[in-house]
Amino acid sequence: MTAPSDPAPRVLVDCGVYADGARVPGEFTPAGGLAKVRQIESTGTQAFVWVGLHEPDERHMQGVAGTFGLHELSAEDAVHAHQRPKLERYDEVLFLVLKTVNYVPHESVVLARQIVETGEIMIFVGKNFVVTVRHGDHSGLAQVRRQLDSDPEQMLLGPYAVLHAIADYVVDRYVEVTNLMEADIDAIEEVAFAPGARTDVEPIYQIKREVVELRRAVAPLSMPFRRMQTDYKDLISKEVRRYLRDVADHQTHAAEQIAGYDEMLSSLVQAALARVGMQQNTDMRKMSAWAGIIAVPTMIAGIYGMNFDHMPALHWAFGYPAVTAAMAGISAVLYRAFRRNGWL
């Protein structure tokens, strides 16, 4: 059986070894980092390795899975993106899937093709290692790693401190994107109910689709955060669970806000459809009114176009002016009646 191979440089973003909360100088491969951790642990010092990967293929992921003993099902999930947010336990390893979100700047909601883009972060946490697998260009964790590298006290809490920091970073982005979308919803609501403006339902459906995508990223995390508080006390220390409780509160707030946006947009769609129906009724009344007015001269002209020899006023010198005046008079009376009733 061949030894597991390390991922290529373009896949391996970073690999750091931490001892007593401080990063050990040097560059490591995943296999080399784990060997260094075991060497440090043999001296009685707490240590772990944090491996960061970006969109690995099956071959690269199998190598990392072989190094850290990851379950083949979780390794397969890490390769294939578009996973639902979830938390699973494989023996002494927790596997957490987070959806990342990013707000796409745009000048107008009406003209925007995309408002929220999503990515994924998979986190494997074991006794002495953390493996993060990212999918998407906006899901970088360099900021999180720099923050943790400068906070040895936090890193002393072990690998689950890294899980908390990543979850906190992702959930903070949920709150930020949710707040930014509030302005878009207000703008589309103002456009939809602007006086005299014709209602276009398509932008409302567009932003509702974005809200649904955001809800699918945020809402499913409620259960994993709750389980980390109650089901995995043997793996996660009390101090880290306290930090995770705060993250769970922020996630709940974002989920409730998104649910409110979804209900608001549903009501807005119904109101917009009702307004479109009223506009169509108004247009139909105008068309019916003009059709009624035009029907009178059409009927009279049709009668006098039947080429009968014996018709009233057929050979009368004033027949044409009289018929024309009658058509104009009847049409004027009908026009006035329709105007009075609000049809024109």
Mean pLDDT of the chain: 85
Q: Is the pLDDT of residue 30 over 70?
A: yes
Is the distance from CB of 248 to CB of 176 less than 8 angstroms?
no
Tell me 317's DSSP state: T
d(CA 102, CA 10): 23
pTM of the model: 0.77
In order, the DSSP letters of 220-265 are GGHHHHHHHHHT-TTTS-HHHHHHHHHHHHHHHHHHHHHHHHHHHH
Least confident range from 121-125, 147-151, 270-274: namely: 270-274
CA 122 to chain centroid: 18
Indicate the burial class of 342 (C-beta count within 10 angstroms; 0-12, 13-18, 19 or more): exposed
Please provide residue 262's backbone torsions phi and psi, each rounded to the nearest 5 degrees.
-60, -45
The pLDDT assigned to 9 comes to 53
The pLDDT assigned to 6 comes to 59
pLDDT tens readout for residues 69-94: 999 988 888 888 778 899 999 989 99
d(CA 246, CA 303): 85
Q: Where are the domains of the chain?
A: 12-276, 284-340
Q: Is the pLDDT of residue 8 over 60?
A: no
Q: Is the pLDDT of residue 198 over 70?
A: no
- Under CATH, what is the fold of the domain 284-340? Methane Monooxygenase Hydroxylase; Chain G, domain 1 (1.20.58)
Alpha helices in 4-93 (DSSP H): 30-41, 58-68, 72-79
> What's the CATH code, domain 12-276?
3.30.460.20
Q: Does this chain's domain 12-276 share its CATH topology with 284-340?
A: no
